[in-house]
Amino acid sequence: MGKPLGLVLVRQALKRNVLKGLKMGRNGVDFCMFADDTLFLCDESFFSIFTIMMILRCFELVLGLKVNFHKSKLAGICVDRYPLNTYAKTLNCNTMRLPFKYLGIEVEGNPRKKQFWELVVNKIKARLSYWKGRFLSMEGRICLLKSVFTAIPLFYLSFFKAPNSVCNSIISIQRKFLWTWGRDNMAIPWVIWEKFFKPFEESGLRIKDIRKFNSALLVKWKWRLMSDEKGNGKTSLCRK
């Protein structure tokens, strides 16, 4: 959905009290749509489902684009199966079970369990495999280590607190890739790992500490919510 038009339609629906979003924040801020792929979050009622259908229909009429409802899916949290199927038939779409993936992140999973992070750990392990280390110098391995860590787990670390066991697993993969030189045996670390976190001026390599990086990303969301609430009493998580 076009982002500006989608936001206008949803905000008008919220303003006229024909659509009730989820409540979040200390001031009860309505959060109804996260737009990239479009995700609607609303209360359980036939009226809300009908309003969403009308919003999508207005989108079709204004832009001349057609919404593919057969590719759309509906999921319910603590909603009985019968009303969920009724809502899905109204929207002419399919239902799906929780947990599901949205923008690469598992929704309704348990981030406290190690299994929740297996996909991230396996991707990092595949990118930092032993055979790649055989053909890279120390500088090349450091560069690859930084780029992989910054790109792959970024979304997960932005929304969930990583358990200590997951952090230790990722650090272990990084250390083995850096010191084994492409060998499958035990490595000898010549420098303590914490020294790599320091800036270049202090003889470090500016490799991010996963625990501090995770905490900083989570605190950024809190800061953004508090800043928006102090500014105008409303917040928009839809903007980039």
Domain extent listing, the chain: 3-98, 108-220
* Rounded-to-integer distance, Cα 182 and Cα 190, Å: 16
Residue 4 has pLDDT above 60, yes or no: no
> Cis link prior to 189 (omega < 30° from 0)?
no
Residue 9 pLDDT more than 70?
Answer: no
pTM comes to 0.65
Residues 6 or more apart whose CB falls under 8 angstroms from that of 47 comprise 18
The pLDDT-based confidence of 27 (bands split at 50, 70, 90) is low
Of 167 and 230, the structure prediction assigns the larger pLDDT to 167
In this predicted structure, what is the pLDDT of residue 81?
Answer: 85
What are the pLDDT digits (tens) for 106-144? Answer: 777 788 888 889 888 988 888 887 777 677 888 888 888
pLDDT, one tens digit per residue, over 150-205 is: 788 888 888 889 999 999 998 888 888 888 765 666 666 777 878 888 887 777 78
